[in-house]
Structure 1
Amino acid sequence: MDWLQAIVLGIVQGLTEFLPISSSAHVSIVGQLLFDGRDPGAAFTAVTQLGTETAVLVYFRKDIWRIITHWIGSLRGTVEKGDPDARMGWLVIIGSVPIVVLGLLFQDAIDTTLRNLWITVAMLAGVALVLAAADRFGERNTKDLRQLSWRDGILLGLFQAAALIPGVSRSGATISGGLFLGFNREAAARYAFLLAVPAVFGSGLYKLKDIGDDTAATWGPTIVATILAFVIGYAVIAWLLRYISTHSFRIFVVYRLVIAAIVAVLILTGVLSA
């Protein structure tokens, strides 16, 4: 991987991580176009996601600090057990369990078989239809994060775990789940961002050991890509939260279907190898 390729992939990661269009799919597809058919790899994807998740930490720093301190306070007995922020801490922990367990159980498949582009095409198109249905279902949703239950946390954790398959989209799956459970768009998006932090940092830190072992992912370019992902990801978070307060997810549904069709054509014509 050269520096220009890393810059492009860092920009792609930052632009797509928080939009419900699957960053892993875009990094894989663009990476193969840049690398003459070679996937940049699961390690590179996981590590560059550290940049976008750091953007979440910075953007939601006040919320995250309050959640952490209140959660610790509830353990010490200085904060009531029913405190909303302490409860949110537990909900993020519980919601993170499914993706951790499934990620470890199916690690080999995630790194190899599930990166097949035909699977990515199917997920891009299939989840587009799920997102469209969820968006329509949730048009008049009024529930906010104060009404998030333990059952909701576990179910949304399962939705997030589906994003282990490239093409699904972590934010797209979790937001769709939130809409189906009655939460408004902004609440579903905020919880999706918070829920992703432990899983993505865990995955990225775990994959750090693989950088340098694969010729497609070397340290220098990976660091540059990660920094770019952070800067652009921060801007995308701010834009998306404003956008969904007054708009539906229809544009992302159409985009996913168009990209799925384009990738299918590129595979069939031999431009990309599945």
Structure 2
Amino acid sequence: MSVLEALIFGIVQGIAEFLPISSTAHIVIAQLLFGYSFPGLSFEVILHLGSIVAVVLYFRSDIIHLINAFFRFIAQRHPEDRPEFFFAIYIVIATLITGFLGLLLEDFLAESIKTPIFIASSLAITGFFLILIEKYHKIGHRTEKEMNLLDAVIVGLAQTLAVLPGISRSGSTLIAALYAGLNRKTAVRYSFLLSIPVILGSSVLAIDDLNTGALASIGTLQLIVSFIASFITSWIGIVWLINFLNKGRLIYFAIYCFLLAIIVITMLDPSTIIQAE
């Protein structure tokens, strides 16, 4: 892998991770375009590490506040800490649902889902639901104070679908949260904070696949470049998406998903079996 390729992979991962356009699909497409296959999951762990560091640092104050409120409510039962206590509980519940069902789905579907046709179809489905939630569903007004267990279950189930290449994790959680009646600000906050245990968990599960030989074959400089690129562009993606959703529309992401699906289905060999996470 050249330094330029490492830079591009890092940029692709960072930009696509938190936008509702599927980072897995973009990494897969980038591999096919470069004719390069990652040696196991080792390099993907490095890419995801850049994203997880970015989201943790960006939301560090929110995370600290949430943790403090959680334990303060347990110890002192302050009423003002109750919403944050249950908000943290709902993050845990959605994560457990995603982790359990995601592992079952991944083992069941295996290699049959890693084809250009499947990825294109998944991108189109993501685009369809982005339009559906934007055009035909009234955005709710509920905040963290009005969240309930059903919201966590709905979002957790939706997030499970992101195990399918082409289905966006951020897109599925945003769509589900908005469908459940949460307002945009709460849906975005829930989606981003929920990404931390999910991305971290998937990276931890992939530790067994870490191969120092595979990483060495990529090169130390390339690994550093890809990590930094992933970190910086993940941070930019977080800032941009939050600002965009406060005044923009999800339909633009839907159009992008449709266009990318067309590119995938027309430019890539439909019989290809893609080695991706």
Same fold (TM over 0.5): yes
Q: Which residue of structure 2 lines up, in the alignment, with residue 89 of structure 1?
A: 88
Q: How far apart, CA to CA, are the structure 2 residues paired with 1:11 and 1:111?
A: 27
Which residue number in structure 1 is paired with residue 157 of structure 2?
158
Contact (CA 8 Å) 1:138, 1:183: kept in 2 or not?
Answer: no
Q: Quick check: 1:22–1:168 contact (8 Å CA) kept in 2?
A: yes
TM (norm. structure 1) is 0.88
* Separation in structure 2 between the aligned mates of residue 269 and residue 87 of structure 1, nearest angstrom: 46
Structure 2 match to 1:209? 208
Q: Report the CA distance between 1:194 and its aligned residue.
A: 0.8
CA distance in 1, matches of 2:270, 2:205: 36
**Cα gap change, 1:9/1:40 in structure 2, threshold over 3 Å: closer, same or farther?**
farther
Deviation of 1:184 after TM superposition, in Å, equals: 2.3
Query: Residues 146 and 78 of structure 1: is their aligned pair in 2 closer, same or farther, counting only changes over 3 Å?
Result: closer
**1:155-214: CA deviations, max 9, x gaps?**
101111110111000010011111211122232121111111111101112213323378
Structure 2 unaligned spans of 5+: none
User: Alpha-carbon deviation of 1:61?
Assistant: 1.1
CA contact (8 A) 2:123 2:258 kept: yes
Normalised by the length of structure 2, the TM-score is 0.87
The amino acid of 2:232's aligned partner reads V
Asked if the contact 1:47/1:207 (under 8 Å) is kept, the reply is no
- Is 2:41–2:210's contact at 8 Å kept on the other side of the alignment? no
Aligned to 2:257: 256
Q: Structure 1 counterpart of 2:240, which letter? A: W
Identity %: 29
Q: Which one-letter code corresponds to 1:18 in the other structure? A: F
Distance 1:100 1:81, change over 3 A: farther
What's the counterpart of residue 266 of structure 2? Answer: 265
Query: Residues of 2 paired with 1:32 and 1:109: CA distance?
Result: 24
Is 1:4 aligned with 2:4?
yes
Distance 2:243 2:205 in 1: 33
| Alignment RMSD | 2.6
Q: Contact between 1:14 and 1:228, CA under 8 Å: does it hold in 2?
A: yes
Aligned partners of 1:29, 1:111: CA distance in 2, in Å? Answer: 19
1:142 corresponds to which residue? 141
Match of 2:117 in 1: 118
Which residue number corresponds to residue 43 of structure 2?
44
Matches within 5 A, 1:51-66: 51-66=50-65
**One-letter identity of the residue aligned with 1:13:** Q
- The one-letter amino acid paired with 2:200 is F
The one-letter code of the counterpart of 1:261 is I
d(CA) in 2 for partners of 1:156, 1:60: 20
Identify the residue that residue 127 of structure 2 maps to in structure 1.
128
AA matched with 1:16 = A
Q: Which amino acid aligns with 1:14?
A: G
- More moved, 206-215 vs 168-177: 206-215
Take 1:211 and 1:75, find their aligned partners in 2: how far apart are those partners? 38
| Pair 227,138 (structure 1): closer, same or farther in 2 beyond 3 Å | farther
How many residues align? The count is 272
Report the Cα distance in structure 2 between the residues aligned to 1:188 and 1:248, rounded to whole angstroms.
14
Q: Quote how far apart the aligned CAs of 1:81 are.
A: 9.5
Residue 230 of structure 1 is matched in structure 2 by 231
- 2:139 touches 2:179 (CA, 8 Å); kept in 1? no
Q: Contact conserved, 1:13 with 1:23, CA < 8 A, in 2?
A: yes
